[in-house]
Amino acid sequence: MEASFYHAKTRYPGIFGWLFTTDHKRIGLLYLISTLSFFAVGVSLGLIMRLELIRSGMHIISAQTYNAIFTIHGVVMVFLFIIPGIPASLGNFIMPLQIGARDVAFPKINILSWWLFIIGGALVVTSLFTGGGPLDTGWTFYIPYSIRTGTNVSLAVFGVFLIGLSSTLTGMNFLTTIFRLRAPGMTWKRMTLFTWAIYATSWIQLLATPVLAITLLLIIIERFFGVGFFDPAKGGDPILFEHMFWIYSHPAVYIMIVPAMGAVTDIIPVFTRKNIFGYMAIAASSLAIAFVGYLVWGHHMFTSGMSDTARIIFSFLTFLVAVPSGVKVYSWIASLYKGSITLGAPLLYTLGFIFLFSIGGLTGLIQGALATNLHVHGTYFIVAHFHYVIFGGAVMGFFAGIHYWYPKMFGRMYEEHLAKLGWVFLFIGFNMLYFSMFVLGWEGMPRRYYDYLPRFNGPNLVSTIGSWILAMGLIIMFYNLIHSLFAGAEAGDNPWGAASLEWQTSSPPPTENFEAIPVVTKGPYDFK
Amino acid sequence: MNETAHIEHRDYVGAKLGMWLFLFTEILLFGGMFLVYSVYREVNTADFHEAGMEMNMTIGAVNTLILLTSSLTMALSISAIKRAAKMRSILFQAVTIILGIAFLVNKYFEWSDHIRHGFYPDSPKLLAMSHGKILFFGLYYVMTGIHALHVVIGISIIGFILILTLRDSVSGTDYVKLENAGLFWHLVDVIWIYLFPLFYLIL
Amino acid sequence: MVRTYFKITVTEKSWAEACLRKKIMEQKHEERTHVPTRVFVIVWIALVCLTGLTIKAAQMKMGEWSMVANIVIASTKASLVLWFFMHLKYEKRVFKLLIFVPLITVSIIIGLTFFDIWYR
């Protein structure tokens, strides 16, 4: 058995040993690098947006360019970063190790998924520079504008279609892996809660993404053939498009958040040295979120012209979906209580996650209530909400997971003080950037506009400055992570003293993961 | 010992499970289209009935029988390979492919006929008609079109498996690829089982 | 130490042997479930008859009740294909349970959308 999977003798030489690998660990790293690269693109676009919005009446770009930028920011961040995000990178690398498997069920389909993702991303990027230019419809592609606009919708949408196919195949792969490849003694109740989260997420990826696929295909068909499904002149209903789009895109946000919740649930026991509180409740809540998440999509459409009956029903169901998330938050707090706490970077990011996600989640309730929704829909309140849950929630959870599993993936430790410094900048910058938006939205500033009334100047300035502090935090954090690849202290097999299976093999693991597949006799957070 | 070594690196149940999960995604894909169909039929019931009169029930019924029979031959090809009756399995796979091609040929004539009569998306004749009729024909082309695409894919997959069977890559001891191809083909049949009444039996 | 896992007694620490024995068991089970040709042919005949029935039901022109009848017949045909041709009858219980997942999902999607369509 060779020292680590980095030194494996591969079928193809050099870089091709990575590009055509079937090793889930290499594929996880391929995804990690590509998704984080797209994240950098998305962040840059966001910074440009904030620069444009620094002051009322001042412009550095045209309105058309602004429309394109917020659209691409959304498409890149949603489809090219956070949806593949944790499942494709950390899920790929860590989950098979956690269940004691040597790889996923279908390794070749795994690398195919990555290539579909890359080709889809390439098509999206190409669409910016070809045809009618970068699309300006918003990442939600609402009808009728997405049909009528001359920008390069079809190419970009087809790229997203391929990315969706990648996501679907990954979901199928992970489900089969968890069903079939668990080590002896690895019962469902002995799996880590990260693996449970990946399991629930895989169901959403499997079942929701095809609805996006057909919706995107219908956009392309409509642009080319004018069939009329969403065109009132031909009897079509634009609201039906919104239904179909959100039937995927709401469950999609649970694809984003549930794995992050899984990562922090793995981190907390290790950094408090006690078993997680409410294992069954947390596992069940992941499945509950996955299921109830299918029932609430209408809350994106309260002002669309949907029937009152539908609006009341969706509002009620939306309040219901908050419950399993609440179960998790209470369980995490109870897990921290009376723990022997080490405030390492993974736990710091976890605490930030819990705080920021809670704010985002609570504001979601304000949006879920019909009366208040009418006031805040289409304003910066919504923008603030989803950045709190997705960025403050899912991405913070992603960062927590990257720091936690860093030694396992790279065999080295990141530098702890720099990690904490980065976190401080991130946390302060994040709240300046996005809390201002709650204020702006409540005061009535609409979203997706490239300018605003002078009375909104104050919070917008705070927000833009916040974006710079946040960017500083990201630079510090990524500098630390990259620099430590070369200069970090060597990590042992199990620097955190964790009990789950991935830590019972070397860091980094060999290609076949374990010298001998272990027989599991205790739970994943059993520190005795 | 040889048998066990051969089974060791394969997961027969896992391979089938993966295929079933993939079929679930196809059910959801077509489910989205059935959603569109059901919404527009509900809102334009009378118009759908009128438009349904333009459909040729005979071709639809013949195509239904073709696909049902092709499912039979596909199932029989698997039975044959389990008994290591290689040439019989290949024969049944070939018949399945031929039936699939027959389906597509029928579809070609059917679509040509409709297009010649001016019933196609965005045609002047169609646009002059009621909304329900425009939507019905739109749904007809898109749903049977995506279905036909899956028939093409299915034929290609079975063709590929047929070659593998010839080379003994698919055999009496290792036939999960044929079974999975069969599962895909049967799903294509199941989709058509629903498309037939929805488009050809609105009278 | 003796443990029971997947109904196989694992005395060895080696994962490979435990997994292998389970797979051999599954393969032997699969080989035992040989569906006779006549079953398939009978199912095919039933499907053809149901096709004829559904055409008759449509020609009876009962309005929207014709559609209900047709969907019921179509579902019967689909169930026959799933149960016999797709081998679901002979598969492990988990397969039989899982098939409901996409069906329920599609039902939810259509059902909740209709709360909008019906009450606009």
* Residue B10 sits at the chain C interface (C-beta within 8 Å): yes
Q: Which residue of A has its CA nearest to C102?
A: A207
* Residue C47 sits at the chain B interface (C-beta within 8 Å): yes
* Residue C78 sits at the chain B interface (C-beta within 8 Å): yes
**Alpha-carbon gap, residue A164 to A143, rounded angstroms:** 20
Q: What is the ipTM metric for this complex?
A: 0.94
C59 and C92, same domain (yes or no): yes
How many Cβ pairs within 8 Å bridge chains B and C?
134
C14 and C47, same domain (yes or no): no
Q: Which of A102, A103, A199, A225 to mutate to test the interface with B (most CBs of B within 10 A)?
A: A225
C23 and C63, same domain (yes or no): no
Chain C, 19 to 38: residues with Cβ < 8 Å from chain B are: 20, 23-24, 26-27, 30-31, 34-35, 37
Chain C, 1 to 20: residues with Cβ < 8 Å from chain B are: 16, 20
CA distance C71 to chain B (A): 7
**Alpha-carbon gap, residue C45 to A434, rounded angstroms:** 65
How many Cβ pairs within 8 Å bridge chains A and C?
64
Contact flag B12-C114 (C-beta cutoff 8 Å)? no
Pairing of strands C3-5, C8-10: antiparallel
Q: Assess whether pLDDT exceeds 80 at residue A471.
A: yes
pLDDT category of residue A397 using cuts at 50, 70 and 90: very high
Query: What pLDDT does residue A216 have?
Result: 97
Contact flag B138-A227 (C-beta cutoff 8 Å)? yes
Q: Assess whether pLDDT exceeds 60 at residue A387.
A: yes
Residue C20 with chain B: CB contacts under 8 Å: 4, 7-8
Is the pTM here over 0.80, yes or no? yes
C74 and C87, same domain (yes or no): yes
Number of structural domains in chain C: 2
Contact flag C114-B42 (C-beta cutoff 8 Å)? yes
Name the residue range of residue C10's domain: 1-32
Q: Which residue of C has its CA nearest to A313?
A: C115
Phi, psi at residue C5, to the nearest 5°? -140, 130
**Alpha-carbon gap, residue A204 to A286, rounded angstroms:** 11
Query: What pLDDT does residue C9 have?
Result: 40
* Residue B130 sits at the chain C interface (C-beta within 8 Å): no
Residue A309 with chain C: CB contacts under 8 Å: 115-116, 118-119
Q: Assess whether pLDDT exceeds 60 at residue A366.
A: yes
Contact flag B42-C61 (C-beta cutoff 8 Å)? no
CA distance A409 to chain C (A): 24
Confirm if A430 and A470 have CB atoms less than 8 A apart. yes
C16 and C43, same domain (yes or no): no
Residues whose CB falls within 8 Å of the CB of residue A369, separated by 6 or more in sequence, listed in order: A315
Which amino acid makes up residue A330? Answer: Y
**Alpha-carbon gap, residue A476 to B121, rounded angstroms:** 55
Q: Which residue of C has its CA nearest to B41?
A: C64
Q: What is the pLDDT of residues B70-87, one digit of tens each?
A: 999 999 999 999 999 999
Residue B51 with chain A: CB contacts under 8 Å: none
pLDDT category of residue C28 using cuts at 50, 70 and 90: confident
CA distance A100 to chain C (A): 9
Crossing angle between the packed helical segments A416-443 and A345-368, to the nearest 10 degrees = 10
In this complex, the chains that touch A, judged by 3 or more CB pairs closer than 8 A, are B, C
Chain B, 55 to 84: residues with Cβ < 8 Å from chain C are: 57, 61, 64-65, 68-69, 71-72, 74-76, 79, 82-83
Contact flag A237-B22 (C-beta cutoff 8 Å)? no
Which amino acid makes up residue A238? Answer: P
**Alpha-carbon gap, residue B137 to B134, rounded angstroms:** 5
Contact flag C3-A308 (C-beta cutoff 8 Å)? no
Phi, psi at residue A494, to the nearest 5°? -145, 70
Nearest one of A359, A386, A383, A393 to A459, comparing CA atoms? A383
| pLDDT mean over C56-82 | 90
Query: What pLDDT does residue C7 have?
Result: 37
Q: Which residue of B has its CA nearest to C107?
A: B31
**Alpha-carbon gap, residue A135 to A65, rounded angstroms:** 10
**Alpha-carbon gap, residue C10 to C14, rounded angstroms:** 9
Residue A105 with chain B: CB contacts under 8 Å: 11, 14, 18
Token pair for A273: 């040295």
Residue C73 with chain B: CB contacts under 8 Å: 197
Residue B83 with chain C: CB contacts under 8 Å: 34
Contact flag B71-C81 (C-beta cutoff 8 Å)? yes
Residues whose CB falls within 8 Å of the CB of residue A259, separated by 6 or more in sequence, listed in order: A85, A86, A87, A90, A91, A194, A197, A198, A201, A394, A397
Q: What is the pLDDT of residues A266-311, one digit of tens each?
A: 999 999 999 999 999 999 999 999 999 999 999 999 999 999 999 9
C63 and C101, same domain (yes or no): yes
- Cis bond leading into A144, ω under 30°? yes
Contact flag C110-B13 (C-beta cutoff 8 Å)? no
C38 and C23, same domain (yes or no): no
pLDDT category of residue C29 using cuts at 50, 70 and 90: confident
Residue C119 with chain A: CB contacts under 8 Å: 307-310
Number of neighbours of residue B99 by Cβ within 10 angstroms: 20
Q: Assess whether pLDDT exceeds 50 at residue C18.
A: yes
C48 and C58, same domain (yes or no): yes
Q: Assess whether pLDDT exceeds 90 at residue A1.
A: no
Contact flag C113-B8 (C-beta cutoff 8 Å)? no
- Classify residue B128 by its DSSP letter: T
- Classify residue A132 by its DSSP letter: T
Which position has the higher pLDDT, C34 or C80? Answer: C80
Nearest one of A103, A112, A36 to A509, comparing CA atoms? A103
Contact flag A180-B36 (C-beta cutoff 8 Å)? no
Query: What pLDDT does residue C17 have?
Result: 66
**Alpha-carbon gap, residue A78 to A261, rounded angstroms:** 18
Q: What is the pLDDT of residues A484-517, one digit of tens each?
A: 999 999 999 999 999 999 999 999 999 999 988 8
Q: Which of A212, A297, A519 to mutate to test the interface with C (most CBs of C within 10 A)?
A: A519
Chain C, 96 to 115: residues with Cβ < 8 Å from chain B are: 98-99, 101-103, 105-106, 109-110, 113-114
Token pair for A163: 């990315």
Q: Which of C10, C105, C119 sits opposite A309 (nearest CB)?
A: C119
Residues whose CB falls within 8 Å of the CB of residue A201, separated by 6 or more in sequence, listed in order: A87, A91, A171, A254, A255, A258, A259, A262, A290
C65 and C96, same domain (yes or no): yes
| pLDDT mean over A376-401 | 98
**Mean pLDDT per segment of 10 residues, for chain B of length 203 residues?**
54 94 98 97 93 93 97 96 94 98 97 94 93 95 97 98 95 92 97 96 84
Query: What pLDDT does residue C4 have?
Result: 42
Q: Which helix (H) or strand (E) holds A111?
A: helix A107-127
Query: What pLDDT does residue C63 have?
Result: 76
C83 and C51, same domain (yes or no): yes
Q: Which of C17, C22, C23 to mutate to test the interface with B (most CBs of B within 10 A)?
A: C23
C81 and C64, same domain (yes or no): yes
Q: Which of C14, C112, C116 sits opposite A295 (nearest CB)?
A: C112
CA distance A427 to chain C (A): 39
Q: Over chain A, what is the mean pLDDT?
A: 96
Exposure class string for B27-39: b at 16+ Cβ within 10 A, else e: bbbbbbbbbbbeb
C39 and C76, same domain (yes or no): yes
Which position has the higher pLDDT, A528 or A424? Answer: A424
Query: What pLDDT does residue A326 have?
Result: 95
Contact flag C117-B39 (C-beta cutoff 8 Å)? yes
Q: Assess whether pLDDT exceeds 50 at residue A380.
A: yes
Confirm if A329 and A364 have CB atoms less than 8 A apart. no
Q: What is the pLDDT of residues A209-266, one digit of tens each?
A: 999 999 999 999 999 999 999 999 999 999 999 999 999 999 999 999 999 999 999 9
Query: CA dist A286 to A88, A193, A198, Å?
Result: 18, 9, 9
